[in-house]
Amino acid sequence: MKTSIAAICIFCLASASFLGNAYSSMGNPSVAATEPVSIKISPNTIILEADVVWVTVHTNIPLSKVDCSTLVLNDIPVAWTKADAKGNLVAKFHHSEVEEIVEPPQATLTLTGATKDGVLFSGSDTIAVRETNRK
């Protein structure tokens, strides 16, 4: 009887170890490493209270691979997305929301998201921030 219980315990531990390793290699976002992505923010200077609608983030990751519902720029949700001429992700964020989180003289903004396979990615760009349009 003791031998049967010991064998069952060993089987359960081995199964749990195997299943845990298989699950963690499936691209689960909670355990996946974050992949770097190159981004460029436009405009490269945010002028506070400017009459501008969008802050645009250009990337080097194909739009077809991105789960767009996961995209945020420093916790600001994406407003809309499209593909550029190369098929890469272009993400638009409301200028007024970005203004609320930046201050002069500069700010580093980070785009984060996940692919449709669950791989996390992020990329950062530093932009200038000014109170007015005067240089």
Residue ranges covered by each domain of the chain: 1-27, 35-130
Tokens standing for residue 99 = 């203004």
Q: Is 50 exceeded by the pLDDT of residue 24?
A: no
Q: Tell me if residue 106 falls in helix, strand or coil.
A: strand
Q: Are 37 and 122 in contact (CB under 8 A)?
A: yes
Q: Count of CB atoms within 10 A of residue 113's CB?
A: 24
134 pLDDT tier (thresholds 50, 70, 90) = low
- Its pTM stands at 0.74
**Level-2 CATH architecture, domain 35-130:** Sandwich (2.60)
Task: Tell which wins on pLDDT, 91 or 2.
Answer: 91
Out of 3-7, 77-81, 82-86, 90-94, which region has the weakest mean confidence (pLDDT)? 3-7
- DSSP, residue by residue, 21-63: HHHHTTT-TTTSPPEE--EEEESSEEETT-S--EEEEEEEEEG
Mind listing the pLDDT tens digit for each residue in 25-78? 344 444 345 788 999 999 999 999 889 999 999 999 999 999 999 999 999 999
